[in-house]
Amino acid sequence: MAIKKTFSPILFTLLLTSCNYTSSDYKSFNDYPVSDNDLWLSYSKEATVFRIWSPTAEMVQLKLYDEGTGGEPKAMYNLHAKKDGTWEIKLKGDLNGTFYTYQVKTADVLLKETPGIYARAVGINGERAMVVDLESTNPEGWEDDKGPGISYPDEAVLYELHMRDLSVYPESGIKHKGKYTGLAEKGTRGPGGVATGLDHLLELGITHVHLLPVFDFNFLDEARPDSAQYNWGYNPFNYNTPEGSYSTDPWNGEVRIKEFKQMVRTLHDNNIGVIMDVVYNHTALYEHSNFNLEVPGYFYRHMEDGKPSNASACGNELASERAMVRKYIIESVTYWAREYHLDGFRFDLMAILDVETMNEIAAALKAINQDIIIYGEGWSAGSSPYPAEKRAFKFNLPQMPGISAFSDEIRDGLKGSVFETMDKGFVNGEENTEESVKMGIVGCIEHPQVDYSRVNASKEAWTTHPWQAVAYVSCHDNLTLYDKLKLSCPEATEEDIIAMDRLAIAVVLTSQGMAFLHAGSELLRSKKGVENSYISPDSINQIDWSRKMKYPGTFNYYRNLVKLRKEHPAFRMRTGEEVRKNLEFHTTENGLISYQISNHANGDNWKNIHVIYNARPEVVIYELPGTWTVAVMGELFNPGTKITDQVVVPARSMLIAYQEE
């Protein structure tokens, strides 16, 4: 965002200190009144009602503007106080397109203007909110729009994507580079005529696109949309409106809403769901965040010395356990689900939020759409004053029956620690990593054949059902899979690296639980060794579509794996008991894991499925009694070869064989 004028941080600190984070009317934040009121702006052509919750305010002023930035207010009104801390005013007439801000006076200090935490539309750089007729932003047929139906979360194949990365490559063939509309373009082609963008996603076969944050975030100047700016977006500014830099007109708050909805509609029309990455654990700003400009201190946790606690490692953390913070988060998430028809949410640093809030979020979302997927990072980035047993850590997942979390066990077990470049895992030659991989294979449930004492990140199971675990090997954070393998194995040939890569993703896509792919990994995506590319230029972050032409074999391997997983429900059993009953490990040795799924598991048309992962640099002669049909061997899918009693498993590869009866 553009740098904005603010009141002094020193003055803010004095303000908080002088009233012990509260006003003289309240001894603690727990004494603040709880409002059941609708705190969203209510618009009609006849009148608009403006509301804000600020129980410590002495005065709240509404300012109306013609533009989203600059100029003087064309009108100012004092809001009226209610007993529950709500302030409101009703203005007659059609105010559609009018920009506005609130300004709060508390403890004799007039705070900076704010668009308000419930703003649904904003102007350039999110400085001012905008009155908008949301119905007018709906695409044609929006009332009939819906995403792909799923019975269980593990039917999804997730594809994590940054909005800009997909299209910004100069030869992507996509017209609206870096925009919502770019993701909705069809028929785009890149180098050598390869399909790009949406057509590529359809070719790959994924079910859901997981978009890195697309709410209005800080630290990009939307007034320079074509300049070289980049950010992952984990810097919340206005939670309830789309990011303007991804729209074709960030000055008009209505445009970003329309284009976001049209993107969703187009993806849904192509049977692809949309997952939104949400960041309710911290805000980009603290002293002059929109929360603190309404109710100083209330929305944040603090240490005993009064400083903001910092489990996010971003300078602050939200106090989700407080009544009005919880109300806000739940209403914000459900607003996105209803208004934008989103199919799921991924929670950043979910373990900063409390268990009760996450359960209420899940209940509220499922009441809107039973098919909504909810998952998150089951960890935090630092310590918090709020008790760990009450926070949404992955080890508390049994208390959150509707929520899933990422398995760092299988991630690091497959390729080595994400925090140590040279550390290796199962596919790149490290010994004694098999139990960590096995834990991921069973979806992190309790399984009698997994030795949890030898698992890397956890020493006990943390899911009740396998779909509560997200199996993955790479994401936007840390090195790409290709870069990690190259850097940790400098002696390896390109052929070796490709084989390791394919084996790693083969394990992910045949494991129980939800399967998650990092965008571009199917093209052996490289960020040139940059580990933390959150503000790196497009030259580092863009998906290089020439790699699809360069590595067609790898793309086809990924595509065939996705197809295999979707066609065979045995790889996505629904309960822990099903997995324990039907999945039995046969071999666990250094560089070799095998197991059998039996009994037409989860209604599969294959009665028995034998899976062998050979991470060794040489072939393995594997004893497999009986007669089997080969489904996958090396690069080959469905070769139909019959084998009896033993099989040759190529080096660094997966082999799958099956019996139909």
For residues 560 and 598, state if they share a domain.
no
Q: Burial code of 237-270, b = ≥16 C-beta within 10 A, e = fewer?
A: bbbbbbbbbbbeebbbbbbbbbbbbbbbbbbbee
- Asked whether residue 26 is domain-assigned, the answer is yes
For residues 590 and 564, state if they share a domain.
no
CB 405 within 8 A of CB 373: no
pLDDT higher than 70, residue 562: yes
Mean pLDDT of 417-428: 98
For residues 594 and 508, state if they share a domain.
no
For residues 210 and 94, state if they share a domain.
no
For residues 132 and 173, state if they share a domain.
no
pLDDT higher than 70, residue 505: yes
Please report which helix (H) or strand (E) contains residue 505, including its range: helix 494-510
pLDDT higher than 90, residue 270: yes
Q: Burial code of 136-175, b = ≥16 C-beta within 10 A, e = fewer?
A: ebbeeeeeebebbebebbbbbbbbbbbbbbbbbbeebbbe
For residues 606 and 565, state if they share a domain.
no
- Asked whether residue 289 is domain-assigned, the answer is no
Question: Residue 60 — φ and ψ, nearest 5°?
Answer: -130, 125
Active site residue 377: yes
- Asked whether residue 288 is domain-assigned, the answer is no
**Mean residue pLDDT across the chain:** 95
pLDDT higher than 80, residue 178: yes
Mean pLDDT of 14-36: 70
Complete DSSP assignment for 170-188: TTS--SSTTSHHHHT--S-
For residues 409 and 512, state if they share a domain.
yes
CA atoms within 13 A on the CB side of 342: 25
Q: Tell me the residue length of the chain.
A: 661
Which one of the listed residues 348, 354, 434, 483 is annotated catalytic?
A: 348
pLDDT higher than 50, residue 305: yes
d(CA 261, CA 338): 11
CB 376 within 8 A of CB 346: yes
Complete DSSP assignment for 628-639: EEEEEETTEE--
Cα 83 from chain centre: 38
pLDDT the model gives residue 227: 80
Which positions ≥6 away from 54 have C-beta within 8 Å? Answer: 60, 85, 87, 104, 106, 294, 295
Helix ranges, 341-457 (H):
355-368, 408-415, 434-441
Which of 25-34, 45-54, 156-165, 545-554 shows the lowest mean pLDDT across its residues?
25-34
pLDDT the model gives residue 24: 57
Mean pLDDT of 146-151: 95
pLDDT the model gives residue 14: 40
d(CA 413, CA 417): 8
Confidence of residue 447 (pLDDT cuts 50, 70, 90): very high
pLDDT the model gives residue 213: 98
Q: What is the CATH number of the domain that holds 124?
A: 2.60.40.10
Which positions ≥6 away from 386 have C-beta within 8 Å? Answer: 301, 319, 321, 354
For residues 269 and 413, state if they share a domain.
yes
Confidence of residue 25 (pLDDT cuts 50, 70, 90): confident
d(CA 411, CA 511): 12
Nearest of 566, 639, 656, 626 to residue 602 by alpha carbon: 566
CA distances 555 to 169, 296, 560, Å, are 18, 51, 9
For residues 426 and 562, state if they share a domain.
yes
- Asked whether residue 351 is domain-assigned, the answer is yes
Last residue of a domain, one of 519, 540, 571: 571
Active site residue 277: no
- Asked whether residue 21 is domain-assigned, the answer is yes
Mean pLDDT of 99-124: 97
pLDDT the model gives residue 23: 53
For residues 484 and 598, state if they share a domain.
no
Q: What angle do CA 284, 67, 164 make, to 5 degrees?
A: 45
Last residue of a domain, one of 83, 103, 137: 137
pLDDT higher than 80, residue 13: no
Residue 502's Cβ-count burial label (10 Å; 0-12, 13-18, 19+) is buried
- Asked whether residue 301 is domain-assigned, the answer is no
Mean pLDDT of 104-132: 97
CB 116 within 8 A of CB 290: yes
In this structure, what DSSP letter does residue 111 have? P
Number of domains in the chain: 3
- Asked whether residue 152 is domain-assigned, the answer is no
CB 604 within 8 A of CB 583: no
Handedness of CA 483, 489, 491, 492 (dihedral sign): negative
Mean pLDDT of 583-601: 98
d(CA 317, CA 302): 8
Confidence of residue 10 (pLDDT cuts 50, 70, 90): very low
Q: What is the CATH number of the domain that holds 596?
A: 2.60.40.1180
Handedness of CA 150, 151, 152, 154 (dihedral sign): negative
Q: What angle do CA 498, 567, 449 make, to 5 degrees?
A: 70
Question: Residue 658 — φ and ψ, nearest 5°?
Answer: -145, 160
pLDDT tens, 214-266?
A: 999 999 999 987 787 999 999 999 999 999 999 999 999 999 999 999 999 99
Q: Which two tokens stand for residue 378?
A: 């089951």
In this structure, what DSSP letter does residue 321 have? T
CA distances 134 to 126, 333, 340, Å, are 18, 17, 11
Q: DSSP E strands: which ranges in 169-263? A: 208-211, 215-217, 236-242
Question: Residue 332 — φ and ψ, nearest 5°?
Answer: -65, -50
pLDDT higher than 70, residue 499: yes
Range of the domain at 395: 158-227+246-281+333-571
- Which residues are bridge partners to 629 per DSSP? 642, 658
Cα 66 from chain centre: 36
For residues 337 and 371, state if they share a domain.
yes
For residues 505 and 403, state if they share a domain.
yes
Which one of the listed residues 216, 343, 377, 412 is annotated catalytic?
A: 377
- Asked whether residue 293 is domain-assigned, the answer is no
pLDDT higher than 70, residue 16: no
